[in-house]
Amino acid sequence: MEIPVEFLLEKTIIVVAVFTVSLVIAMYSTYAERKVSALLQDRIGPNRAGPLGLLQPVADGVKFFMKEEIIPSSANKFLFVLGPSLAMMTACLTGAVIPWGSTLEINGSIVPLQVTDLNIGVLYIFAVVSIGVYGVMIGGWASNNKFSLMGAIRASSQMISYEIAMGLSIIALIMTTGSLSIRDIVEQQVDGHWNIIYQPLGFFIFMVCAFAECNRTPFDLPECEAELVGGYHTEYSSMKLGLYLFSEYINMFISSAVMSAFFFGGYDIPYIEKLGLDHNLVTILGTGFFFFKIVLFIFLFMWVRWTLPRFRYDQLMNLGWKIMIPLAIINIILTGSGILLFK
């Protein structure tokens, strides 16, 4: 098996770029979270570190590294370290199949702005997300603390419950697109034929489930400060806690990217071909527009967090099993009959 050097170089650059971008965006999401929460509550937010407080994430990172690292004596040491690493790893894996832009032409060769275009990209995302539960569960159990265990159990049952509704809402989307490759799904939405027009209910279900999968308010029961102290990361300190918090923000970034790719046309700017611009320029503009959509979704995540109170646990399960799953099944039936009628 011969692998050409240019191919390796190209993919390495894209992988490093995707990794860096997701880390930087996650870093500045923590800043944005504090700033948005402050603005929504008539405060100003961090403004001391650097201009407008823009160096705040760096200061936070330094603080995380400098803090004393505590591993409880009764904790399972190996699993205690494995938990946050796993959470971070699965969070970073998902970015591989998301098409960040169309193609670039460099020296005659065409470079797609995507790590890999799997023909089962949608399922890949689901697989990685379903593995993501382990990070939380292992960490919570290894802490040997009842609050951590409660948080971990809540997290895993919540994630499993909402994965079903999420998968069902995506099945309706796949019925209309006919492909499991995310690039195909994005390419089909050119010129404003965004899937949100055909799948509004599907998008709604997917969004609610994405909130639940990311453990964000109103579904942040796993970390429930009021009753579970800190949930699964009660016993964690220093950068291991940082990894857990960071993976949450990366998950948020990735689910924003997935939502905008699936339902809002990804890197598509409607009717930009009519302007007759250079292909590379169109690609770069498209990528910029994609990131604009992602930032809007991240803002939505934060906006919801600082508006809505948290669900009670039985309400959460009721919503997941008795409302979201039937709604998703109804959506599949509606989509199926729509396809039969109009195509």
Q: Which of 43, 63, 279, 322 binds other proteins (CB under 8 A)?
A: 43
Question: Is 308 one of the binding residues for other proteins (CB under 8 A)?
Answer: yes
Smallest distance from other proteins to CB 205, Å: 12
Pick 12 or 116: Cβ nearer other proteins: 116
Q: Are 29 and 255 in contact (CB under 8 A)?
A: no
Are the beta carbons of 179 and 271 closer than 8 angstroms? no
Instruction: Please report, as residue ranges, which positions from 86 to 145 form the binding site for other proteins (by CB under 8 A).
Output: 118-120, 123-124, 126-127, 129-131, 133-134, 137-138, 141
Residues 127 and 90: their CA atoms lie apart, in Å, by 10
Quick one: 135 or 265, whose CB is closer to other proteins?
135
Interface residue with other proteins, options 40, 54, 317, 332 (CB under 8 A): 40
Q: Are 151 and 230 in contact (CB under 8 A)?
A: yes
Q: How far is the CB of 106 from other proteins (least distance, A)?
A: 27
245 part of the interface to other proteins, by CB under 8 A: no
In 3D space, the residue among 133, 151, 146 whose CA is nearest the CA of residue 74 turns out to be: 146
Calpha distance 84→88 (Å, rounded): 6
**Window contacting other proteins (CB under 8 A); options: 153-161, 209-217, 288-296, 334-342:** 153-161
Helix-helix angle 200-213:325-342, to 10 degrees: 150
> Which residue matches tokens 């997701």?
22
Task: Write out the binding residues for other proteins, residues 158-177 only, by CB under 8 A.
Answer: 160, 163
Q: How far is the CB of 174 from other proteins (least distance, A)?
A: 9
Q: Rule CB under 8 A: say whether 85 interacts with other proteins.
A: no
Q: Which stretch binds other proteins (CB under 8 A): 34-42, 248-256, 271-279, 284-292?
A: 34-42
Q: Does 80 bind other proteins (CB under 8 A)?
A: no
Using rule CB under 8 A, residue 149 touches other proteins:
yes
Dist. CA 194–CA 91, nearest whole Å: 27
Tokens of 96: 């591989």
**What is the closest distance, in whole angstroms, from the C-beta atom of residue 252 to other proteins in the complex?**
17
Point out which span in 40-48, 109-117, 245-253, 279-287 binds other proteins (CB under 8 A): 40-48
Q: What are the residues whose beta carbons fall under 8 Å from the beta carbon of 321, sequence distance 6 or more? A: 161
CB of 1 to other proteins, least distance (A): 5
Residues 47/275, Cβ–Cβ less than 8 Å: no
Question: Whose Cβ is closer to other proteins: residue 163's or residue 268's?
Answer: 163
> Considering CB under 8 A, how many residues would be counted as binding other proteins?
36
Nearest to 162 by CA among 95, 112, 208, 202: 208
- Cβ proximity to other proteins: between 61 and 187 the closer is 187
Report the amino acid identity of residue 287: T
Q: Which two tokens stand for residue 261?
A: 């790719």
Closest CA to 6 of 113, 118, 110, 116: 110
- Helical (H) or strand (E) element with 244: helix 238-263
336 and 198 Cβ atoms separated by less than 8 Å: no
Please state the closest distance from residue 118 (CB atom) to other proteins, in A.
Answer: 7
Site residues (CB under 8 A) for other proteins? 1, 39-44, 79, 118-120, 123-124, 126-127, 129-131, 133-134, 137-138, 141, 149, 152-153, 156-157, 160, 163, 180, 303-304, 306-308
